[in-house]
Structure 1
Amino acid sequence: MPPTLSIDRVAVVLFALNNPGHFGCARPRGNRLEKPGMAYVSAQCRRRLVLPGNSGRATTMRSVEQPGSNPVPQVDPDVAAAWGARLWGPGAGRSTAYIADSLLVTAEPDELAGLLEKIAAISKELGIGIEPVTLGIRMRMQDPPVQLHPVTNAVKLYGDPEIVDAVQLLLRVRRAGITQVSLDHLLVAAPYYAGVPYYAGVPYYAGVPYYAGVGAPVTTYGTPGMGGRSPVAVVLHDPAAHRRRLERPPVVVVPDTGLEEHPWFTDETMATAEVRVDGQLLGRHGTVSGSSTPEPPRNPLDGSLLPYAGHGTFIAGLIRQLCPEARILGIPVMTDDGVVSESCLLATLQSLQARQVSALGGGEQDQLIDVLSLSLGYYHEAPDDALADGPLGLLLENFGRLGVLVVAAAGNNATTSPMFPAGFAEGPVEVGRLPLVGVGAQNPDGTVAYFSNAGPWVSCHRMGAALVSTMPVGCGGDRQMMASLDHEGHHRGTIDPDGFSGGFGVWSGTSFAAPVLAGALAAHLSDDDGPSFLQSSVDRGWKALAAELGWKRP
């Protein structure tokens, strides 16, 4: 059994220091961390984690996870350092990754100023300064169409790096009775990547989001030929070439790595990465407050494909196959490292919420959203309380009330611990709100994929292993074909294992099961091409859920 962490023995491990290839280990002094919130790295603790209260014994990463406990994430050191990411484990294996210098505050506008004053007073006692950050675009309406949860803002922490730690401030704030504050979690995308053992040497085909503790059978999905990312030839034409011409095509939003160059997506009226709200470009390349993301440094000696290269484009291709009529908005919220903070994601989603509210109020049908497909997530430090302090969950409930179907990937860690936002799924519970759907993955034969997370929060399963879809034509790494030569004017060779110039690939993960469902729901919506005002949007959404999942409206 792994050691138990208590609140008064906070273990905060910095994922990334200046020692690539090693995992940060906290150095205990007795039963206390020498520097709470900081981490110590040594050559002896590679891939090992020392937890306080464990008499200095090192616990290997693979032994940390138990059924129902949160997987311990492995994040590329440079990526984690760029985000300022740390690991907190408050007890019973409930570790979570968070941003060390940021907290989230969810409150009504007339309550926010008072809350910030209280937080500032508490942070001052710790020697920490705070600065409020607006997340997303706010488009106020006098009469919103439905009652919505309040928006979320971020609070940036600043001061001595050895003192600044969001967990320490959060605990103090909670003790003061302030419940509207939560961690700014680190989310990772959810395709499957094998961890140890690697299927090949250098460059390896592993990394984010592999979570230690998953057994060897699961790692087969990371191998090309067994469902791992690899090129494949497709001879079918773009399904959209023969699409039906609808009065208003269903709109599917995919906040991910973005939509990149591919012959299927040349028509920007049907698929685009450039999405604007109130004139501002959304995503990591835009100007929306709170949406910018760091660009981690790259190793100039390693030309491997980043672990999520093509992720958003692959998702878009699945939606296109299932609903050629759908308009796809592939918003880039993360780099090909597949990591984004909760606050950055909220900045984009809250902007989309503002767009939806404005469109419903003004009758702007071309601005409405129908389906939101999320292929990313995090593990909460206190999953039983996640609904109480989960700003992302509250926002997704708002989307359901605004007539948007939300689907989320269940995660690939073969655990019963819920990965959020899929963990927020609770089925049909409210007549005026479309419920979030958590989606697990199936193998080609219909069995549940070995890597797919499990639990009552997994609403359904869809194909998610060894799927074929679109890849950016410019996507390629430095792995070489095994043999090549020129003969009589022809270049001959074996398959380039990471060359996707043909535009298609095979991949696996609940990341792709979610858009399979999203595409199917969009197809049902396209069969009901009627007016899209609020009540009819909610009604159409329930009809789609009934047709696809058999869910009855409560």
Structure 2
Amino acid sequence: MAPQRFREQFDHIQRSMPDVPLVMGPDDSAEFLYEKGVVLVRDGEDARTVEDTVRAYFTEAPDLNQDHVRRVSPRTNRTGVTRIRVGDPGEGGRQGDRTVAHALRAVQEREDRAGRRLVSRNHVVHIAPVNACPGDEPVPAPAASAPNPSPAEAVHDPETAVGVLVVDTGLMHDYRSWHQLAHVDGDLALEETDAEGMLKQYVGHGTFIAGIVASVAPNTNVTVLGTLNDVGAVLESEFGEKLFEAVDRHGWPDIISLSAGTPNGRTDGLLGLDAFMEELRDRRTLLVAAAGNNGSATPFWPAAYASLPEYANCVLSVGALRSDGAFGACFSNHGTWVRAYAPGERLVGALTGFEQPVPYVYQHSTYDACRYGFAYACTCQSPRHTGVLSEQQQSTGSEPDQVVFEGFARWSGTSFATPVVAGMIADHMVAHKETDPRAAGQQLLAANTGFADVHGESVPALRPPTWRPEPADPAGAGT
């Protein structure tokens, strides 16, 4: 049974995609979301093979309808993928899609013979989720708070600055009110507040990330794209094209900081990203990608491309350390496919409200205990609040908690550990006059002497010198 937080977030994402029926997958679990009644294939011969194979399989199964099997989106972009309808998206509930499962099963034998994947679910790619959402929601930082990591002392020189492209939600309108973001550019958020003037969920995500990069590496030219402006979610079939659009608009940068992805139950990546990843491999750009916040060892894509030999040089996957920096954060994904960890719990950075305070109503509620079984005072529990989507709030009729943002916020997630590492690599490039971002990433890891404990394993821990750890919690060491 999917946990409450996953069901809450499923509803939120579905409302943002009213014309795209979604289901949980592979059944009523918290593993991933995908498009109902549709599979994703490469255009051309693969598409014809899948159509014919699924139609023949459905003909022999009395409870399946071959009349639904047809191509619904011809190839129109550089990703080389197309969608094939295999079922009626109006049938069934939201706990998995049996027609999609049957279609995948129908093609399995052909995939085995071909030695490669022919078909995939059309997954929802979203902001590095914990059951489809960030590690927690932002919390207003006290008025006297300073950013953490603190801004490093360096001069911004446009001629030598490292180019960092942040693919995320757009920037808040008042982001330049904080001087550290003076050299940041890019898309603005489409809608910051709702009809009541309340800050909408996730809209400050890209601004917060840009602030972390600029703090860790001031000599950067940061560009933030609003690729995930719509509640931080996009279909896999569209995501590859959006990444191509990003580099077409701004050129291939030194570093791409990406805090979004999805698991898919496989170990060979996302079909919808294959074309982009193949082109990335032949460029000089380094993709620094969030490992995700499911508290799981299941590969999370595209970060997990770092574990594939052909992409190991061009992708760096990043997990999150808890606020004392000694252990992995409770929510952080982990495993051999995660290459490095960095501070990602209760970071303090720029959000919004610099020019005028902005109210926010919490969407999710905190828990009485860590949902992953950790013993330290994690973000699952603190600070306490009740959210709009909470079953408890809905059953009792109590009011959800409201706060006001006035500039800085505390926020947790592998979403934010990722720009810490992107910034450290950029800073290394400047300090060592290294022009190759991939070489810089390897050099940084090779020279690193810091380690942390993540599920009993000693892992590389990249901690920027301006980051201030919170005191260790003796009662909560490890799990």
Instruction: Using structure 1 for the length normalisation, give the TM-score.
Output: 0.58
Counterparts of 1:475 and 1:324, CA distance in 2:
27
Q: Does 1:229 align with 2:139?
A: yes
Report if aligned partners of 2:306, 2:314 keep a CA contact under 8 Å in 1: no
Aligned residue in 2 for 1:409: 290
- For residue 209 of structure 1, what is the aligned residue in structure 2? 133
Letter in structure 1 aligned against 2:224: G
- Aligned pairs for 1:376-455 (under 5 A) are 376-381=260-265, 383=266, 386-387=267-268, 390-392=271-273, 395-396=276-277, 398-426=279-307, 429=309, 433-455=313-335
Which residue does 2:61 correspond to in 1?
Answer: none
Q: Given the alignment of the two structures, is residue 77 of structure 1 paired with residue 11 of structure 2, yes or no? A: yes
Question: Number of residues paired by the alignment?
Answer: 384
From 221, 233, 241, the counterpart of 1:327: 221
Alpha-carbon distance in structure 2 between the residues aligned to 1:183 and 1:538: 31
Cα shift at 1:254: 1.5
Match of 2:40 in 1: 104
Cα separation, 2, equivalents of 1:244 and 1:399: 27
1:119 to partner: Cα distance: 3.6
Amino acid at match of 1:372: I
Q: Secondary structure at the match of 2:328?
A: coil
Partner of 1:522: 426
Question: Distance in 2 between the 1:459 and 1:446 partners?
Answer: 16
**Who wins on radius of gyration, i.e. which is larger?**
1
Q: 1:393·1:421 contact (CA, 8 Å) conserved in 2?
A: no
Mapped partners of 1:468, 1:135: distance in 2: 42
Query: Map of 1:331-346 to 2, 5 A cutoff?
Result: 331-335=225-229, 337-346=231-240
> 1:538: how far off?
4.6
Output the CA distance in 1 between the equivalents of 2:278 and 2:142. Answer: 39
Q: Give, in whole Å, the separation in 2 of the partners of 1:236 and 1:323.
A: 17
Which amino acid letter does the alignment assign opposite residue 459 of structure 1?
R
- 1:430/1:190 CA distance change after superposition, 3 Å: closer
Per the TM alignment, residue 173 of structure 1 is displaced from its structure 2 partner at its CA by 3.7
**Contact 2:290–2:415 under 8 Å retained in 1:** yes
CA distance in 1, matches of 2:215, 2:276: 29
Task: Give the C-alpha shift of residue 310 in structure 1.
Answer: 0.7
SS of equivalent residue, structure 2 residue 82: strand
Q: Shift of residue 303 of structure 1? A: 6.7
1:118 aligns with 2:49: yes
Q: C-alpha displacement at 1:159, in angstroms? A: 7.6
What do residues 342-370 of structure 1 show as CA deviations (whole Å, max 9, x unaligned)? Answer: 22321122334667xxxxxxxxxx83411
**Which amino acid is 1:270 matched to?**
H
Q: Distance in 2 between matches of 1:518 and 1:117?
A: 41
Instruction: Evaluate the alpha carbon distance shift between residue 269 and residue 310 of structure 1 in structure 2; reply closer, same or farther with a 3 A threshold.
Output: closer
* Residue pair 1:441, 1:465 contacting (<8 A) in 2 also: yes
Matched, 1:504 2:417: no
Asked if 1 retains the 8 angstrom alpha-carbon contact of 2:24 and 2:30, the reply is no
Q: Does 1:89 align with 2:32?
A: no
In structure 2, what residue type is equivalent to 1:457? Answer: W
Structure 1 partner of 2:358 = 476
Shift of residue 471, structure 1, vs aligned partner: 0.6
Give the drift of 1:161: 3.2
Q: Partner amino acid for 1:257?
A: T
Give 1:79 shift. Answer: 2.7
Give matches, 1:206-285, under 5 Å.
208-209=132-133, 222=136, 228-233=138-143, 243-261=155-173, 262-263=175-176, 270-274=183-187
Using the alignment, how far apart are the partners of 1:512 and 1:435 within structure 2? 17
User: Residues 456-489 of structure 1: CA distance to partner in whole angstroms, max 9, x if unpaired?
Assistant: 2222221111111111337833559xxxxxxxxx
Q: CA deviation at 1:255?
A: 1.3
Asked whether the 8 Å contact 1:442–1:461 carries over to 2, the reply is: no
Match of 1:375 among 242, 256, 259: 259
- The TM-score, its normalising length taken from structure 2, stands at 0.66
Asked whether 1:466 is paired with 2:349, we answer no
In structure 2, distance between residues paired with 1:431 and 1:344? 22
Q: Deviations over 1:263-301 (max 9, x none)?
A: 257999932224xxxxxxxx998xxxxxxxxx9xx997x
- Does the 8 A contact of 1:253 with 1:369 survive in 2? yes
Q: Distance in 2 between matches of 1:330 and 1:433?
A: 24
Shift of 1:314: 0.6
**C-alpha separation between the residues in 2 aligned to 1:182 and 1:505?**
38
Instruction: Trace 1:25-64 onto structure 2 (pairs within 5 A).
Output: 49=1, 61=3
The amino acid of 2:417's aligned partner reads: A
Q: Deviations over 1:88-112 (max 9, x none)?
A: 3269x78431112543334xxxxx4
Q: 1:440 to 1:520 in 2, by over 3 A?
A: same
8 Å CA contact retained: 1:232, 1:506: no
Note the C-alpha offset of 1:549. 7.8
Cα distance, 1:397–1:468 mapped onto 2, change above 3 Å: farther
- Distance change (3 Å), C-alpha of 1:402 and 1:269: farther
Q: What percent identity do the matched residue pairs reach?
A: 25
Which is further off, 237-246 or 305-314?
Answer: 237-246
Q: In structure 1, what residue type is equivalent to 2:403? A: D
Aligned to 1:36: none
Distance across 1 between alignment mates of 2:163 and 2:251 = 9
> Aligned equivalents of 1:268 and 1:465: distance in 2?
22
1:229 CA drift (Å) = 2.2
Equivalent position of 1:161 in the other structure: 89
Residue pair 1:521, 1:548 contacting (<8 A) in 2 also = no
